[in-house]
Structure formats: C-alpha cells, structure tokens
Structure 1
C-alpha cells in the first residue's frame, strides 16, 4: 500500500510540476522579469512549501505535549536536511538526468552572476545557522538576535535579486515561455487570471503530492524501524525536495539552465535562512553528531559549487558527482 501511495504521489507531483513550471514561465514573461528572479524567488518559495511544513509540525508536536527530544530531532533534522539535500543530491540528480542529452562533459550555461549571488548568500546564512547550534537555549537574546538576522538576510537577498532583474532582462536573460499555457488549450485566454489559476492548481498538486509522499516515506520508515532523526535528515527531505528536483529536471532538459539552477539555489537561500530562523527561535536548536556532519557536508558541497562559479569554470554534469558523493557519504555514515 505504501508503494502504491508513493507512486501515486510521484505522478501527482510530476503533473503539478509540469503545470507549475509552464505557468511560471508565462508569469515571468508577462511581468518582464529575469529568469533568475523567476527561479530564485517565485519557483523557489512556491516549491519550498512542503518542506516548510515539516519543522512547523515538529514545533507543534513539542508545544502540544509530545516528547521534547522528538520535536528537537524532527525539527532540527528537517530544517538542516532540506538544504543538505538541495546542495548534494538534487544538484547531482539534475546533472544525472541531463547527462544523456548533453553528455557528462556537456556545458551547462546558467547565468553566472545570479548563481554566484544565490550561493554566496546561502553560505553566509547557513553558516550563521550552523554557528547558532552552539548557542545554549537559555541565552534567549542571542538566539532571538540570530533569528532576526536570518530573516533580515533573506529579505535583503530578495531586494538585491529584484534590483538586478532589469539589467539581466536587458542583457537577454528575461523569462520566456517556451510552450502555450495549458489552460489556454481548453479555451481560456492567456491572460494573468488564467496564469494565476494554473499556477495555483500546479502548486496545490505539488503540495498535496509531497504530503502524500511524506506519509508513504514515514510509513516505510516506521516499518523498517528507522529513528526520527535519520527519518528527518535522510528520508523526509527526499520527498519534500521532489518539487525542486522535478522542476529543475524539466527546465534543464528544455535548455533553460538559468531557471533550473536558480530554482535550486534560490531554494537554498530560503531554506538556509528563513527555515533555520524557525529552528533557532522556536525549537531547542542544538548539535548532535549526525546534525553536525550534515551541516558540514552541506557547507562543503555548497562551498565547492560556489568556488566553481566564482572561478568562472564552465559547469558540466560531471562536476556534480562530488555533490552526489557528499550525500552518499552522509547516507552511509548514518545507516
């Protein structure tokens, strides 16, 4: 039954992601914004809804009388597990799916300034989040200060990204819709109301499918006897990051490399700042060996990718074998 639920959830997510990316391309085209803004902000925040719910549920479990250690494990694990998944497995899977089309040495051509900006902001925010793990829970003012800084960092990032959009559009990096709006095929005019309706339908399918997938993963983990921490660090992010993976795979196979990468790196900034702010402010945000290893590998994979972009290296699928190896090392270390 769990397997059937997982398959059904995957089909729902695939269909929702197809509708969502199609509508998002039309929205970006209609608004005249860059591919970086479309991917890094609109797509990233929209597809981050499933993983945002996991730590909120964990916090609710603590405040409603569940064991505090369980809420800490699930909350910290889910918050730190999401960026780890994006910086390691998601980038690797995207490269894996594009390799039959372009080869392992084929060039990937995302717009470099936006990619460098996203990764730089992520490393600063996530590094601060990792440092916050060592701040004792009773030092309330420091934890509140760190949480507020993380929230501020994200909104500053959004402002900087929006400000860069006009110049990128002028340089030919504007969002362009590659296919007709799907709702337009049933007679609706390709206007903003139809675009927003399709966007909402696609996003709703993604959130519902991801929720169904998480339920299936949790059922399997309970059957296998996996702990809450390993579940939240390894298995739940696999499910909740499916929207980002699928959106980026769809875009990169259509040679929309900037959208594909920006969807991932924009989600990294969101999940490396706002989600840890929830953890710092509302959970016992404390370290453990699996959490520290995960945070370290996330910074290693993110820093490695940032250095590639910073040095002007032409990105190729084989570069992301290292990111996949980071996830593989973490998986085997925990299992």
Structure 2
C-alpha cells in the first residue's frame, strides 16, 4: 500500500508539474520574454516545484509524522539530492538523447552568456550552503545570515537574468509556446486569466502530491529498514526531477538547446540557493557522510560544466559522460 501511495503521489506531482510548466511557457510567450528567462526562470522554477514542496512539506509536517527526525531527513535529502541529480544525472541523460540524434561528438549550441551566468551563481550559492554544513547549529545568527544571503543570491540572479532578456529577444531568442494551453483544449480561451488558473491548479496538485509523497517515504523507509535520508537522497530527486529531464530531452531533440540547458541550470540556481536557505534555517544541516559526499560531487560536476563553458570549447554530448560517472559513483557508495 505504501508503494501504491508513492506511485500515486508521483503521478500527481508529474501531471501537476506539466500543467504548471505548460502555462509558464504560454506566460513567457505572452509577455515577450526570451528563451533564457523562460528556461532559466519560468520552466526551471515550475519543474523545480516538486523538489521544493517535498522538503517544505517534510520539514513543516515533521511534527505530525511518527518520527519528526524522518521529516528532517527527507527534507535534507530532497534539498541536497536535487542539485546533485541535476548537475550529474540530468545533464548526462540529456547528452545521451542528443548523441542519439547528433552523435557523441555532435555540437550543442546553447546561448552561452546565460549558461555561464547560471552556473556561476549556482556554484557561488551552493558553496556557501556547503560551508554552512560546518557551522554549529547553536550559532543561530551566523546560520540565519547565511540563509538570508542565499535568498538574496537568487533575487539578484533574477534581476540579472530578466535584465538580459530584451537583448536576447532582439537576437532571435524569443520564447515560442509550441503546445496549446491545456485548458484551451477544454474550450476555454487562451488568455492571462486561464493561464493563471492553470498555474494555480498545477501548484495545488504539486503541494498535495508532495504531502502524500513525504508520508509514503516515511512508511517505505520503515518497511525497508533503510534510512529516510538515504532514500531521499537517491529516490526523491530522481522521481521529482522527471519534469526537468523530460522537458530538457524534448527541447534538445527539437534543437532548442538554450531552453534545454536553461531548464537545468536555472533549476540549479533555484535549488542551490533558496532550498539550502530552508535547510540552513529549519533543519540540523550537518555534514553527515552521505550529505557531504553529495555536496562535494555536486560542486565538482558544476565546476567541470562551468569550465567547459568558460573556456569556450564547443560543447559536445561526450563531454557530459563525466557527469554521469559522478552520479554512478554516488549511487554506488550510498547503495
């Protein structure tokens, strides 16, 4: 029954995230924003909502769980597991589908200034969050200051990304919504009101699905005799990041490389700043071996990807085999 609950929760989360992402693309099209803004902010935030809601619900609902510690472990695992998965497995999977179409030495052509900005801000924020692991919990002022800085990181990142939008649109990187708004298929007109209505439906479904998922993980970890932290580091991100993987794979197959990469790197900034701010503020946030290993491998994967972009080398699918190897290492150690 616990597995059935987890599967139902995942289906609900994925369907709701699809509704949310679809409406965000139409919103970007309607507002005349660039692919960079739509990919790195709208699509990234929309598809990152499952990962965001799972730790939030886990932390705030921990008092209602049989063991409050389980809620904290699920929260920390989801927070740190998400950027780990994005920087390693998700980039690797995207490269596999790109290679199937273009070859392992085929060219990937994302807009580089946005990609460099995303990765730089992510590494700065996530490095600070990793440093916070070593700040004692009783140092409340220092930890609170770090949490505030992480939130400010994302705020300034948004400003820079939006400011660059006009120039990118002028260069031919405007957002175009290819799929019809789902509510319009029911006969409703495609207008701002229906776009926001679909946004609300998607958000409500994600929140409800996340709550079901947290309770399902609690029961499953007890049944399997596996730590909720390990389960959350390995299973929660893989499951909840399906929207990012699917969207990026579809975009890379359609040769929309800017949207494909922006969907991943924009989510990295979101999950490497705002989510750790929650962890630093509301969880023990300590450097246990699984947590520290995940943080270190995430920083390695992010730094390697930024180095490729910064040096100006032609991006090719074969270069992201290392990202996949880093995830395989993590999985082998934890399992």
Compute the TM-score of the two structures, normalised by the length of structure 1.
Answer: 0.89
Alignment-derived partner of residue 121 in structure 1: 121
Alignment-derived partner of residue 87 in structure 1: 87
Comparing 258-267 and 220-229, the one that deviates more: 220-229
Cα deviation 1:210-237 (Å, max 9, x = unaligned) = 6666666665544432212211211111
Alignment-derived partner of residue 231 in structure 1: 231
The alignment partner of 2:109 has SS state of coil
| Whole-angstrom CA distance in 2 between matches of 1:94 and 1:211 | 29
Cα deviation 1:57-97 (Å, max 9, x = unaligned) = 34335556976654553332221111111111111122223
Contact 2:39/2:262 (8 A) holds in 1: yes
Give the direction of change, closer, same or farther, for the CA distance of 1:64–1:321 in structure 2 (3 Å limit).
same
Following superposition, the deviation at residue 331 of structure 1 comes to: 0.6
| Whole-angstrom CA distance in 1 between matches of 2:203 and 2:143 | 33
Alignment-derived partner of residue 306 in structure 1: 306
Following superposition, the deviation at residue 105 of structure 1 comes to: 2.4
Give the direction of change, closer, same or farther, for the CA distance of 1:102–1:13 in structure 2 (3 Å limit).
farther
Alignment-derived partner of residue 174 in structure 1: 174
Following superposition, the deviation at residue 156 of structure 1 comes to: 0.7
Following superposition, the deviation at residue 186 of structure 1 comes to: 4.0
Alignment-derived partner of residue 130 in structure 2: 130
Contact 2:18/2:243 (8 A) holds in 1: no
The alignment partner of 2:164 has SS state of helix
Aligned residues, how many? 335
| Whole-angstrom CA distance in 2 between matches of 1:62 and 1:215 | 10
Alignment-derived partner of residue 240 in structure 2: 240
| Whole-angstrom CA distance in 2 between matches of 1:205 and 1:227 | 27
Contact 2:181/2:190 (8 A) holds in 1: yes
- Residue 52 of structure 2 is aligned to residue 52 of structure 1: yes
- Residue 8 of structure 2 is aligned to residue 34 of structure 1: no
Contact 2:13/2:240 (8 A) holds in 1: no
Alignment-derived partner of residue 323 in structure 1: 323
| Whole-angstrom CA distance in 2 between matches of 1:223 and 1:68 | 17
The correspondence of residues 153-172 of structure 1 with structure 2, limited to 5 A, is 153-172=153-172
Give the direction of change, closer, same or farther, for the CA distance of 1:188–1:65 in structure 2 (3 Å limit).
closer
| Whole-angstrom CA distance in 2 between matches of 1:7 and 1:278 | 26
Following superposition, the deviation at residue 196 of structure 1 comes to: 2.7
| Whole-angstrom CA distance in 2 between matches of 1:153 and 1:45 | 15
Following superposition, the deviation at residue 19 of structure 1 comes to: 4.3
Alignment-derived partner of residue 184 in structure 1: 184
> What RMSD in Å do the two structures reach over aligned CA positions?
2.7
Alignment-derived partner of residue 249 in structure 2: 249
| Whole-angstrom CA distance in 1 between matches of 2:80 and 2:224 | 23
Give the direction of change, closer, same or farther, for the CA distance of 1:208–1:61 in structure 2 (3 Å limit).
closer
| Whole-angstrom CA distance in 1 between matches of 2:50 and 2:180 | 28
| Whole-angstrom CA distance in 2 between matches of 1:218 and 1:72 | 11
Contact 1:14/1:246 (8 A) holds in 2: no
Give the direction of change, closer, same or farther, for the CA distance of 1:249–1:12 in structure 2 (3 Å limit).
farther
Alignment-derived partner of residue 275 in structure 1: 275
Following superposition, the deviation at residue 53 of structure 1 comes to: 2.5
Following superposition, the deviation at residue 112 of structure 1 comes to: 0.8
Alignment-derived partner of residue 259 in structure 1: 259
Contact 2:17/2:46 (8 A) holds in 1: no
| Whole-angstrom CA distance in 1 between matches of 2:137 and 2:10 | 39
Comparing 198-207 and 76-85, the one that deviates more: 198-207
Following superposition, the deviation at residue 160 of structure 1 comes to: 0.8
Give the direction of change, closer, same or farther, for the CA distance of 1:204–1:58 in structure 2 (3 Å limit).
closer
Contact 2:25/2:43 (8 A) holds in 1: no
